[in-house]
């Protein structure tokens, strides 16, 4: 038996008159069960399972409980893959290329190159990458990515610089922390600077949403409003990477004291 819940709330502003209107929303148990995919994502992420597998399974389960047959669901997955092939195929094709490069020592060569640079630190490498990533995202050039840059190049370079300071293989906790900062450098550089150039998707999407909601805004105003956020991302990143370098220096001191 379906359970129905009725809620009433007020819109702050409805239309140009600013009059208050009530809106009734009915939510049934059949509608609530369709949210099971969110529960699966939360549980999967909490258990630290494979991210791609968790998202895929939650999507499949959500489709099945929503009344979509298995054949229709697989057809929909295939259609979406084909429709978005220009976004998915570069990633799929890049994986074997990166695998071949790593097999022939890409990570080792990157780490060795950084060890020869006396002034290089893990924090400086990550800050430089984030700055370059933001600069290229500003002009809609995507040169980075977790699969193509962070894992095969940036992480080995940062770990090589950190190991030079510590003097021995990095402790597991410090190594995982460094890798987390490297992943954050990609995310910060990508997400906080791509709202400046008016020709990219996010700016046009925001303009379309605001126009539809009755708040016309210029794309140039949207672009200029993104500059403080991009600059703040660089400043906050500098502070975080400086703190990371201090942790690495402390690990080096503890390592040298332990050898005495």
Q: Is the pLDDT of residue 158 over 70?
A: yes
Distances (CA, A) of 186 to 146, 168, 231, 255: 7, 27, 15, 30
Q: What does the pLDDT read at residue 77?
A: 82
Greater model confidence, 6 or 145? 145
pLDDT digits (tens, 9 = 90+) for 107-157: 676 666 666 666 788 999 999 999 999 888 877 777 778 877 888 888 888
Q: Is the pLDDT of residue 14 over 50?
A: no
pLDDT band at 13 (very low <50, low <70, confident <90, very high): very low
Domain ranges of the chain: 1-28, 106-251
Q: Evaluate if pTM is beyond 0.75.
A: no
Q: Which long-range contacts (CB under 8 A, 24 or more apart) does 197-202 make?
A: 197/138, 197/139, 197/140, 197/223, 198/222, 198/223, 199/140, 200/140
Most confident of 26-35, 126-135, 148-157, 187-196: 126-135
Average pLDDT score over the chain: 78
Q: What does the pLDDT read at residue 210?
A: 81
């Amino acid at each position: 038996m379906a359970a129905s819940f009725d809620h009433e709330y007020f819109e702050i502003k409805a239309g140009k008159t600013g009059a208050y209107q009530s809106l009734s929303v009915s939510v049934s148990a059949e509608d609530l069960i369709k949210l099971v995919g969110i529960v699966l994502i939360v549980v999967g992420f909490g258990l630290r399972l494979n991210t791609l597998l968790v998202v895929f399974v939650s999507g499949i389960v959500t489709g099945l409980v929503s009344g979509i047959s298995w054949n229709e669901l697989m057809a929909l997955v295939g259609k979406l893959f084909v429709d978005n092939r220009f976004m998915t195929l570069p990633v799929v094709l890049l994986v074997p290329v990166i695998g071949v490069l790593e097999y022939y020592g890409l990570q080792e060569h990157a780490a060795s190159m950084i060890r020869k640079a006396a002034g290089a630190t893990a924090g400086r490498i990550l800050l430089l990458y984030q700055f370059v990533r933001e600069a290229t995202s500003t002009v809609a050039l995507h040169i980075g990515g977790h699969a193509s840059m962070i894992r095969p190049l940036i992480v080995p370079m940062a770990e090589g610089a950190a190991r030079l300071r510590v003097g021995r293989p990095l402790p597991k906790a410090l190594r995982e922390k460094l890798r987390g900062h490297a992943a954050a450098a990609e995310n910060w550089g990508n997400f906080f600077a791509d709202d400046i150039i008016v020709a990219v998707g996010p700016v046009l999407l925001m303009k379309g949403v605001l126009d539809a909601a009755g708040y016309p805004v210029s794309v140039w105003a949207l672009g200029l409003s993104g500059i403080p956020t991009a600059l703040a991302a660089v400043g906050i990143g500098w502070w975080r990477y400086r703190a990371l370098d201090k942790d690495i220096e402390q690990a080096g001191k503890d390592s040298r004291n332990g050898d005495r």
